[in-house]
Every structure is written in structure tokens, then in C-alpha cells.
Amino acid sequence: MKSALIQFIKRAFSREPELHPVERGLARRWIKQRLLAVFPELRNNPAALERAYRTLGLEARSGTEAGKEQTIYEMSIPGER
């Protein structure tokens, strides 16, 4: 019980770890592949694909739950950045 409380306090006051650049690049590639699968009109238009990716407003961050070291992507509404 005591160690669980200490772990909770450490997580609450610690800064989020930085996401590794390789993971960020892989995630960006995967998201663009999914965009191409869903919107086939973007296949031969790299500028439109990049605009579509940027308008999603995805922000990558590391998982915060105990035992889950996965990357989480949060979507923000384009007008509220």
C-alpha cells in the first residue's frame, strides 16, 4: 500500500517523458497510411495528404497508466489549438 501511494505521487509530480523520434516518425507514417486507405483521392497528392495529416491535430505522448508504456495520440479540434 505504501509503495503504491509513493508511485502515485511520483507519477503525479513527474514530467512526461519525451517521445523517441523513431516512434514519432513511425506513428506519423502509420497515420498517413491509414489516411491513404480511407481517402484514396489523397494517393497522388502529397500536399493534400500533408494538409489532411496536419488538420487532424494529433499530439503524441507517452502512456501514463502503470504498466502501459504505449504511445497515446490525442486529437485536438483544429480551431482550439
Cell of 65: 497508466
Q: How many other C-beta atoms are found inside a 10 Å radius of the C-beta of residue 22?
A: 8
pLDDT above 70: residue 64: no
pLDDT over 90 at 67, yes or no = no
In this prediction, what percent of the chain has a pLDDT beyond 70?
65
pLDDT in tens, 10-42: 766 766 666 678 877 888 898 899 999 999 999
Q: Which residue is listed with cell 504505449?
A: 70
Which long-range contacts link 5-10 to residues 24+ away (Cβ below 8 Å)? 7/66
In the chain, the percentage of residues whose pLDDT exceeds 90 is 17
Domain boundaries, the chain: 2-80
| Per-residue pLDDT band at 47 (split at 50, 70, 90) | very high
The predicted model scores a pTM of 0.57
- Going 23 to 59 to 41 to 37, the CA torsion angle's sign is positive
pLDDT of residue 55: 85
Among candidates 19, 8, 7, 15, which has minimal Cα distance to 73? 19
